[in-house]
Structure 1
Amino acid sequence: MDSSASDSPGSSGKKLVTRQFLYGKMQSQKLSTMDEKLAYLENYLLSSYGDTEENIEQLKVNINYFKTAMRQKWSEAHRKEDRFIKLNHSWLNGTFEIPIQDQNRPGRPSRSFIESSDRSKRRKPEVIRSAAENSILIYAAQSTLRTKGLRNASEILKEITKSPTIAQKYKSELGKPNILKPQEALAMFIEADLTRQQYEIIRETNKSVYPCYDKLLDAKKECYPPEQLIKVTSLYAESTLQSLIDNSYAPFNVLSGSTCNY
């Protein structure tokens, strides 16, 4: 039998895979210790095939046999992968039995996790939690998110699990309303061509988000060049080009939180 998973011919309630398949599965996770790799493998098997209490119990027995043999053989190979594979080639090509629900057996068909009842959803993760340390579960979740292309979610999970303080900061930030800066509110005011009365009506809906109208006036004044750089006579008004450029970009600097010299 090859090293990939496959159904056994004419199987009734079981699936056979090679031990090479199991070894490759846990090695692919790049975990640092053999215990972590074995815990990941147990997690994977229980979450993938532990759809009934009967299957879970039998699967745990089979996994324990595999783990015991794996630790012994790994130790005998002095924890060297190439030596381990050379000494245990025949053993790795042997089979591992995975109990699965017999499709011809009468009774309710198994459901996916999403389709399961709340009680089943609470039970299935409990099997996984009891079989692995928190650090392994968190790492597995991060790896799954990255595999699914959710790299940002993976990074956030990594951050919030570093300490309770970081997690609390994330939670606090999520609960805060998106407060507009005066410059943002001014941009909205101009873009929507609002009157003061219209803006005040909008602000009444959520005063914690929209700054008062006086703040908009202050933000507007910040867009003007300094008075000492403006010269006004009866014939003309002028200002230096640099002051006009500086004040044109000033709102962008405030909104982006950066400081640029032009």
Structure 2
Amino acid sequence: MTMITRKYLYDIAQNSIGSSFDEKLKLMEIEVLKGYFQDDPKIADAKHKLSIVKHQFKQKWLAAQKNKKRFEEKNATWLRDTITLPSAGVSPGRPQKSFEESSERSKTEDLRSKDLAELTYATQMQLRQAGKVEASKVVKDLTKSPRRAKKYIKAFKESVEKQDQPRQLSPLQALSMFTEAELTKTQYQRVRETNPIFFPCYSIVQKAKKDSYPEIHRVTETCAEVLVQKLMDHTGSRLIQFLGKAVENLSEEEKSSLILISKWGCDGSQQIQYKMKFEFEDDSDANIFQSSTVPLQLL
């Protein structure tokens, strides 16, 4: 017989990678039972006694309102008490081999004798312990439904096929290149001919360019006006679109309290008049006056 303290079992549970107290207790049980062979006749008794201890732990954990400090203070004496487990011993007969040393047939028979849920759970825990948390989540998700595996395989194949294909520039990336290089429509189309898959067609770039303009309030031969509120709304929405995931990760409260800080200014100039006729004779393009805004911060 082996005597161990409840504090020892508690420490194993707390040092495990389980996210909840129930999960930590399951990992504690798996760790303790590692000392027994699967065909050890004493393992059933050990599992029974551990299940009683786990039930006691859960009751006292709930009584402490799931507070670690309160649990340890209220149960300090109880944790120091010992429980008795049957000593792990080698089963009679031929010496047992480890799983790695066993033949493929023995490994298969050993695994088939175990419950599928037990194997799945053990795989999840081992992956977590190895630091492969995402892989553990995938194993858990795949076993929820037999159709999940087909969906995973289909999604994986599609992702591999997409990686093999050349990636096309987004409309904004193409517009940025078009603007910074000061290309004409004809020049852009010639560039696109070198790689039609990589460069989107000009109509897409043209639409992206129109989308970048705010809503125009009034345009005449001598003026173009935009309402300030419309301009600020458009600027804010374009910034949010550009920032993408950085904004998506914000809470709803943070999204509803965003503040855009901008500065504004104005300037005028004189220029040579073009030989063009205006609708009204008094109109002129000899002087130009413009006001503008510049976004500084989105808080």
**TM-score between both structures, scaled by the size of structure 1:** 0.48
Give the TM-score, by structure 2 length. 0.44
Q: Which has the higher strand share?
A: 2
Q: Which has the higher helix share?
A: 1
Question: Whose radius of gyration is greater, 1 or 2?
Answer: 2
